[in-house]
Chain A
Amino acid sequence: MRLILITMLLAATCPAELLDRVAVTIANQVITQNEITDEIRMNAFLNSEPADFSQKSKQAAADRLIEQKLIYREMEMGRYPPASSQEANGMMDKLEKTRARSQGEFEKAMKAAGVTVDQLRDHLLWGLTLSNFIDLRFRPGVQVTRKDVQEYYQNKILPSTKPGEKPNLADVRAQIEQTLTAELSDKQLDEWLKDAKSRAHIEYHKEAFEAPAQ
């Protein structure tokens, strides 16, 4: 009886613990503190690094999530098709094979990093979605000229190859075009994101960034 009373008293006097809170708002969308924490853990797991919960790291994670929200909103408004779960599952299998010898070992590593299977799948799906978005939204508008290819060949390819091993332009043209297209698309994405952020009303709730690391 005494034990029960003490337990009840303990419970009654236990201060409430924070489960989650608003960390960033973008118009009528929200990023919670736990989302940021999960993003840090996911990033650390994929990079095989220890998770860093410093304020700077939280800010960087929040920025990544803000970009994600802006892109998702743009995709919804423009009715861009999302990536398929099958593709994400395929990527997960590849990742499992490169990171662990067995599924059990992979799951153990995920658990140690604080990452769940669903979270990992969602993250990989997001990566594929982002790639699709860039392809559909920006790539069609990118034009790589002969001059661009020539300059890249002169300034990037030739200096990094040994004399005698220099490849012909014709042989590497397709590769250069692909690289340049990707770079230009990324540049356009960056510009679009910069513009979208300036137009969106983004507010950081600093209490969420000052909270102790978990």
Chain B
Amino acid sequence: MAFAVLFAIGTGVLSADPQQYEGRTITAIEFDPPLQRQAVDPAELQSILPLKVHTPLHLSDVRKTIERLYSTGRYQDIQIEAQPSGSDGVSILIKTKNSWFIGRVSVDGKIAEPPNEGQLVNASRLDLGQPFNQSDVQAAQSKITHLLVQNGFYESTVNPSLEYSDVAQQVNITFHIRTGQRARFWVPVITGDPQLPEPKIIRATHWKEFLRNKWRPITLARVRQGLDGVRSRFQKSDRLLATVELKALDYDAANRRATPHLDIQAGPVVTIKPVGAKVKRKVLEQNVPVFQEHTVDPDLLEEGRRNLQEEFQSKGYFEAAVEYKQEPPLKEKEEIDYVITPGERHRFVKLTIEGNKYFTTDAIRERLFLQPKSFQFRHGRYSEAFTRRDEQSIANLYKSNGFRDVVVTAETQDDYLGKKGDVAVTLKIVEGPQYIVSNLKITGNHLLDLKGILPTLSSAEDQPFSDFNVATDRDSILTYYFENGFPNASFEYSTSAGANPRLVNLEFRITEGNRQYVRQVITSGLVHTRPQLVDKNITLSPGDPLSPVAMSEIQKRLYDLGVFARVDMAVQNPEGNLERKYVIYNMQEAHRFSVTAGFGAQLANIGGSNAADSLSNPAGTTGFSPRVSLDVTRMNVFGLGRTVRFSSRYSSLDTRGLVDYLWPKIFGRPKLDAKFSVLFDDSHDVRTFAARREEASFQLTDRFSKSLTAFLRFTYRNVNVSNLKIAPELLPLFSQAVRVGILSVNFAQDRRDDPTDAHKGMYNTLELGIAPKQFGSSTGFASVLARNATYHPIGKKLVLARQTSFGVEPAFSVQPNADPNDPIPLPERFYAGGASMRGFPENQAGPRDLSTGFPLGGSALFINNTELRFPLFGENIGGVIFHDFGNVFDRLSDLSFRVHQRNPQDFNYMVHAVGFGIRYKTPIGPVRVDLADSVNSPRFNGFGGTYQQLVQCAINNTCVAAPQRVSRFQFFFSIGQAF
């Protein structure tokens, strides 16, 4: 009998009536998969389950268990089973099926841009860390296909493949794309009422290349630009209400072209003109929003009226009144007149501020728009709108400091002091009482200690009470909570009266919510990069509070490695009701090879023969030096974020090959970078000699702060000079190879707002070098070069820039056969001229050879440059006027501010140059053309013949000097500001 019963149970599942288990004692709780392989951390899992061993089973708890487990977001299915245990017990089995989350989303295939890979991935709208649903993949596939079609790929195929990873339950999705060929535009079909001939519309779209008479390939950007082009065309002919709509792009597969269907309604010609005063078209377009909004309605016309009125008032017509008259449309023409009555032109001469005790007058003035007349504002800056704005601005200033009853009124006095047209404004402030926080109570902060943030709160005891301060404190406190793993923290506040009406008791009530922690940091996307390079930069560990700030900091560090094109970060399962969350970083490695080719040119007084025997043009002549460069960079060498770069440059003045090995964050120090370099250089940029340089160097760069960087560098170089154009008796001294081993330290402090085109700030550099014989130098010397540049904005548009440079090279250990008066080897001396000092051509400043007139450089340098930079035409063309003075000197003791040259052998005086320049802004910096007049450029003696003839006449002491002068007028053409 018992056996029969057993057999019956063993063969099938009894249909369960769950009620039969109600109240039984739970003897065991098992999981399938086992607890250690569950999707939720085992410790957290145990804490959230309502079912507990040795407690009665309630079906309501079973339901709650399912609800809580599901709300974690980590399960897609849960089922709970029961099995009798003993006479009155039940053992529970919780069966789960994990859910999945989006991991890496990528595309592969031969994809012709646009769109690029990033755009295709973004189009999928599959976000890292979000719950994964199969239906989302189909939707993503459609969106990617749609983007491809928009870019002319009508025959593309998109096939997704999924890779499931048990690590953090991620699904990596790859879309395999075949784009096919891109379609081209075809003749548009135009419907509606275009009022323009079709050829003009087509021309406005730029969809056809008119030179080659060929239709362009379709891209999304081209479609949009085409429609905008047609709209602009109508705008130019005052059809401000024109609408241009692309109804369809019909694809013809046989010919691979698509016909745009454009519906164009030209609308009436809308003429907006000022009456009663002259207003430039550009000013009208800026002030009347009808031009931007492409519609005419009363609100826009009214806004235009107000804007024009303020425009006139701000120019001194303080009583200007503007009205608009809109005539009914007549035969496709609509006229809108802005009737302007400017009134008398006034001058705003005086601004007085009265009643202020808490704030100084200066502190209030610097916040005001109202400005009495000055050099910058000839009629002063006044309008009713400015006055209202300033009243509000002063009131806000007081209110944010506890004066919530402050009243600010402006009184305007016309014909001030009896002078017709003069206006004075008095801003009267009635401060009222200041409300003070007498007591601040913070409640609800149980889990997080606020000691660190309390001193920074604005609403502290005895401080002014204001809504503004409370709002600031709210932001500070909530940010503090978010940074420490409380994403759901909330803040409320309440006030009550203190001991007297001016005192306020303030209470901040914080609801902390659940704290979230890092379960684990998961990285993916590494192909060539070694994991340890990434791991070093992951500063979040399991158990740390989940801080978005720390996450962003890690993302920034990963970008700074320079090996990743993209670093996506996310908290996995953000909506899940769990304390511990995975933090995901998905990286896309950048292309490791890059090749850059460039070409350029220099046009200046750099010309003249380089031949060994030629002594012509010691001060240079107009020359054009084209230049080509080729750089090949291999990034992420060894997968460790290092870079090898080969740079080469070839021009008529310079041939160079350079190999760098960059090792960022050396010794694990995040701000310490190292660089090994080997250089070969064959240059003739100093006309006196040709130099062949072989150099090796090692440099450490330490970024102390955002603005301060230090470089420590050891360089060893061997320089062979040839084609020397100096007095024959000096040849033996200077023609020897020069060996230099120099240890230098360089500090750079950059506080400019924009390094390529600074408008304010400063830039300082200090370079100190020592080249003793112990380092292999043929002559022991030291080198100091300091530069200080400052940039001062004047008004909104002018910039006063100046730079002072000072350098000195004392020698302390002279080569036995060197000139004791001039021991520093020629290639190691200071040379100046060109961008550094526009009174001279490139490298032409300073002492010159007394026989040939060629520049010799010096061991001291002082140069000052001053520029006034201003806009010239529009946004991109600017001008400068400049004054450069300075020179290179034989030695420090020869430095002089004298402006007159004593004789043709005297070069130790200050040369001054003034000039004018044009700057054209480009994305890589301004293109620069400078014209300088060097008012006291040096005279010198050259030699009219060849070098051989010089040698001959020197023997016989019959050389005849050829007096020459460095040209007064210099011109320079280059990229980048002079300094």
Contact, CB under 8 Å: A11 / B73: no
Q: Does A171 contact B (CB under 8 A)?
A: no
Contact, CB under 8 Å: A21 / B84: no
CA of A15 to CA of B21, assembled, Å? 14
Contact, CB under 8 Å: B62 / A16: no
Which one of B16, B66, B86 contacts A32 once the chains associate, using CB atoms below 8 Å?
A: B66
Which one of A20, A201, A205 contacts B62 once the chains associate, using CB atoms below 8 Å?
A: A20
Contact, CB under 8 Å: A19 / B18: yes
Given A13-B10, A28-B70, A29-B71, decide whether A214 and B15 contact each other with a Cβ distance below 8 A.
yes
Please name all residues of chain A whose beta carbon is closer than 8 Å to the beta carbon of B93 when the two chains form the complex.
16
Return the CB mask of A7-19 against B: 1 if under 8 Å, else 0.
1011101111111
CA of A27 to CA of B80, assembled, Å? 21
Please name all residues of chain A whose beta carbon is closer than 8 Å to the beta carbon of B19 when the two chains form the complex.
114
Contact, CB under 8 Å: B16 / A18: yes
Please name all residues of chain B whose beta carbon is closer than 8 Å to the beta carbon of A1 when the two chains form the complex.
none
Q: Does A43 contact B (CB under 8 A)?
A: no
Q: Does B85 contact A (CB under 8 A)?
A: yes
B711 to chain A, nearest CB (A): 55
Q: Does A35 contact B (CB under 8 A)?
A: yes
- In the complex, what residue of chain A is closest to B72 when comparing beta carbons? A28
B513 to chain A, nearest CB (A): 15
Contact, CB under 8 Å: B73 / A22: no
- In the complex, what residue of chain A is closest to B16 when comparing beta carbons? A17
Given A10-B9, A28-B73, decide whether A16 and B63 contact each other with a Cβ distance below 8 A.
no
Return the CB mask of A26-46 against B: 1 if under 8 Å, else 0.
011110101100000000000
Return the CB mask of B668-683 against A: 1 if under 8 Å, else 0.
0000000000000000
Return the CB mask of B48-68 against A: 1 if under 8 Å, else 0.
000000000001001100110
A77 to chain B, nearest CB (A): 14
Contact, CB under 8 Å: A13 / B62: no
Q: Does B499 contact A (CB under 8 A)?
A: no
Contact, CB under 8 Å: A34 / B6: no
Given A9-B6, A32-B63, decide whether A17 and B14 contact each other with a Cβ distance below 8 A.
yes
Contact, CB under 8 Å: A19 / B82: yes
CA of A15 to CA of B71, assembled, Å? 29
Contact, CB under 8 Å: B83 / A28: no
Which one of B2, B80, B87 contacts A6 once the chains associate, using CB atoms below 8 Å?
A: B2
Contact, CB under 8 Å: A21 / B17: no
Please name all residues of chain A whose beta carbon is closer than 8 Å to the beta carbon of B78 when the two chains form the complex.
21-22, 30
Q: Which of B671-728 contact A (CB under 8 A)?
A: none
CA of A30 to CA of B70, assembled, Å? 7
Which one of B15, B70, B73, B82 contacts A212 once the chains associate, using CB atoms below 8 Å?
A: B15
B802 to chain A, nearest CB (A): 61
Q: Does B12 contact A (CB under 8 A)?
A: yes
Contact, CB under 8 Å: A201 / B82: no
Please name all residues of chain A whose beta carbon is closer than 8 Å to the beta carbon of B16 when the two chains form the complex.
17-19, 214
Q: Does B657 contact A (CB under 8 A)?
A: no
CA of A10 to CA of B9, assembled, Å? 8
Please name all residues of chain A whose beta carbon is closer than 8 Å to the beta carbon of B15 when the two chains form the complex.
212, 214
A211 to chain B, nearest CB (A): 9
CA of A10 to CA of B86, assembled, Å? 10
Q: Which of B743-779 contact A (CB under 8 A)?
A: none
Which one of A7, A201, A214 contacts B17 once the chains associate, using CB atoms below 8 Å?
A: A214
The secondary structure that dominates the A interface is: mixed
Contact, CB under 8 Å: A14 / B62: no
Q: Does A132 contact B (CB under 8 A)?
A: no
Q: Does B79 contact A (CB under 8 A)?
A: yes
Q: Does B652 contact A (CB under 8 A)?
A: no
Q: Does A25 contact B (CB under 8 A)?
A: yes
Contact, CB under 8 Å: A15 / B575: no
Q: Does B476 contact A (CB under 8 A)?
A: no
Contact, CB under 8 Å: B63 / A20: yes
Contact, CB under 8 Å: A11 / B66: no
Q: Does B81 contact A (CB under 8 A)?
A: yes
Which one of A10, A15, A18 contacts B6 once the chains associate, using CB atoms below 8 Å?
A: A10
Contact, CB under 8 Å: B83 / A17: yes
Contact, CB under 8 Å: B10 / A34: no
CA of A3 to CA of B82, assembled, Å? 23
Q: Does B576 contact A (CB under 8 A)?
A: yes
Given A17-B16, A30-B66, decide whether A11 and B59 contact each other with a Cβ distance below 8 A.
no
Return the CB mask of B266-300 against A: 1 if under 8 Å, else 0.
00000000000000000000000000000000000
Please name all residues of chain A whose beta carbon is closer than 8 Å to the beta carbon of B527 when the two chains form the complex.
none
CA of A22 to CA of B66, assembled, Å? 7
Please name all residues of chain B whose beta carbon is closer than 8 Å to the beta carbon of A30 when the two chains form the complex.
66-67, 70-71, 78
B572 to chain A, nearest CB (A): 14
Please name all residues of chain B whose beta carbon is closer than 8 Å to the beta carbon of A16 when the two chains form the complex.
13, 81-83, 93
Given A6-B2, A28-B577, A34-B63, decide whether A17 and B85 contact each other with a Cβ distance below 8 A.
no
Q: Which of B518-573 contact A (CB under 8 A)?
A: none
Q: Does B77 contact A (CB under 8 A)?
A: yes
Q: Does B5 contact A (CB under 8 A)?
A: yes
Given A20-B66, A28-B576, decide whether A34 and B59 contact each other with a Cβ distance below 8 A.
yes
Q: Which of A94-120 contact B (CB under 8 A)?
A: 114
CA of A17 to CA of B84, assembled, Å? 9
Please name all residues of chain A whose beta carbon is closer than 8 Å to the beta carbon of B83 when the two chains form the complex.
11, 14-17
CA of A181 to CA of B9, assembled, Å? 59
Q: Which of B166-211 contact A (CB under 8 A)?
A: none
Please name all residues of chain A whose beta carbon is closer than 8 Å to the beta carbon of B70 when the two chains form the complex.
22, 25, 28-30
Please name all residues of chain B whose beta carbon is closer than 8 Å to the beta carbon of A13 when the two chains form the complex.
6, 9-10
CA of A6 to CA of B14, assembled, Å? 18
Please name all residues of chain B whose beta carbon is closer than 8 Å to the beta carbon of A29 when the two chains form the complex.
67, 70-71
Contact, CB under 8 Å: B79 / A21: yes
Please name all residues of chain A whose beta carbon is closer than 8 Å to the beta carbon of B2 when the two chains form the complex.
3, 6, 10
Contact, CB under 8 Å: A205 / B77: yes
Contact, CB under 8 Å: B79 / A15: no
B403 to chain A, nearest CB (A): 35
B124 to chain A, nearest CB (A): 17
Q: Does B922 contact A (CB under 8 A)?
A: no
CA of A27 to CA of B576, assembled, Å? 10
The interface centre, meaning the residue of A9, A15, A19, A201 with most chain B CB atoms within 10 A of its CB, is: A19
Q: Does B361 contact A (CB under 8 A)?
A: no
Q: Does B142 contact A (CB under 8 A)?
A: no
Please name all residues of chain A whose beta carbon is closer than 8 Å to the beta carbon of B92 when the two chains form the complex.
19
Please name all residues of chain B whose beta carbon is closer than 8 Å to the beta carbon of A6 when the two chains form the complex.
2, 6
Contact, CB under 8 Å: A17 / B81: yes
CA of A122 to CA of B896, assembled, Å? 99
Please name all residues of chain B whose beta carbon is closer than 8 Å to the beta carbon of A15 when the two chains form the complex.
9-10, 12-14, 83
Contact, CB under 8 Å: A28 / B71: yes
Contact, CB under 8 Å: A18 / B63: no
Please name all residues of chain B whose beta carbon is closer than 8 Å to the beta carbon of A32 when the two chains form the complex.
63, 66-67
Please name all residues of chain B whose beta carbon is closer than 8 Å to the beta carbon of A3 when the two chains form the complex.
2
Q: 16 A-B Cβ contacts within 8 A?
A: A6-B6, A11-B85, A14-B83, A15-B12, A15-B14, A16-B81, A17-B16, A17-B83, A19-B16, A20-B62, A20-B80, A25-B76, A27-B575, A28-B70, A28-B575, A30-B71
- In the A-B complex, the 6 residue pairs with the smallest Cβ-Cβ separation, listed nearest first, are A17-B16, A16-B81, A21-B79, A30-B70, A6-B2, A19-B80
Known pairs A19-B62, A32-B67, A35-B63; list 11 more (Cβ under 8 Å).
A3-B2, A11-B85, A11-B86, A13-B10, A14-B9, A19-B80, A25-B76, A28-B73, A29-B67, A32-B66, A201-B133
